[in-house]
Amino acid sequence: MKYENRLTDTDKLQEKIRSHRPLDAYEVKQLKEYYRIGLTYTSNALEGNSLTESETKVVLEDGITIGGKPLKDHFEAIGHSEAFDLLYKLAEGQRITEDDILGLHRLFYYRIDAETAGKYRERNVIITGTDFTPPTPAAVPLAMQEFFGNLPTLRTLHPVEYAAMLHLQFVNIHPFIDGNGRTARLLMNLALLQAGYPITIIPPIIRGDYISALRDSNKGNNQPFINFITCCVWESQKEYLRLLESLDRK
C-alpha cells in the first residue's frame, strides 16, 4: 500500500490540539494511562507478543498473569510499561542522550536478559525478512556516536520527519541484541512528545506496510517510511483529539 505524505495535515491537527492546552493534571493522567496500554500492546504485538490489548491492560493494571501465555510476553509488557514512565520523564526535557536510549532499553529488557539489557550487542545479528546487514558489534559504538552527532542536523527537519528519521537511523544500526524495534518506537515517541505531539501508535494490522517501508530505507529510499510515519502521526492525532473532546464533555 502506498502512503501519502501527511505533514500538512499533521500541522493542521496540531493547531487544534494546541487549542485544548494546557491540560489539567487529571486529563494528563487519564491520557498517559490510556497510551501506556495502547503503546505497550501495539509495540509488543508488532514483534510477535501474544497478549491482546485487554490482556495487556489486565497484566499492567491488575497485576494478573494470563493463563497459557508465555512468561516472556508478560515480562515484555511490564518492562515496556516501565520504559513508558521513563519516556514521559525524558519528554520534559529537549535533549536525547546515549544514557536515555540505554535506559529505555534497560527498563524494557532487564527481566528478559539482565546481562544484555541497556548494553550494545557483542554478537552479529540477522534481521529476518530482509537482506539488510547491520553493523558488526565492533562498529556499533562508532555508529551510535555518529547517530548522536547527526541529531542537531536532524532537528532542523519538521518534527514528524525528525522523529521518523530517528527511528530509521537507530533501527538500521540495530545496536542491541534484541528489542531494537521497541526502543526505536520509544525513541520516535520521545522526539514527538518533546515537540508537543501526542503518542503515535503503529497498529499491528499494518505491520506488513511498516516492514516494507523499512526495507525501502535499507535500499536507500527513506521517503516511503517518512510518509508512513506521517500517516501514523495523523491518525494518532485524530484519536488524541477524540479523547480530548471526550474529556471536555459537559
Q: What is the mean pLDDT of residues 118-126?
A: 96
Quick one: how many helices (H) and strands (E) in the chain? 10, 0
Write out the three cell numbers for 105: 532499553
Query: Class assignment of domain 7-247?
Result: mainly alpha
Q: Is the pLDDT of residue 250 over 80?
A: no
Q: What is the pTM of this model?
A: 0.96
What distance in Å separates the CA atoms of residue 144 and residue 105, rounded to the nearest whole number? 14
Angstrom distance (rounded) from CA 141 to CA 118: 13
- From first CA to last CA, the distance across the chain in angstroms is 41
Amino acid at 224: P
pLDDT digits (tens, 9 = 90+) for 93-109: 999 999 999 999 999 99
236 with 199: CB under 8 angstroms?
Answer: yes
Instruction: Please determine, for residue 121, whether its predicted confidence score (pLDDT) is greater than 80.
Output: yes
Q: Can you tell me which residue has the cell 536510549? A: 101
**Banded pLDDT at 127 (limits 50, 70, 90):** confident
Pick the catalytic residue from 74, 80, 167, 174: 174
Question: Is 61 a residue whose pLDDT tops 90?
Answer: yes
105 tagged catalytic: no
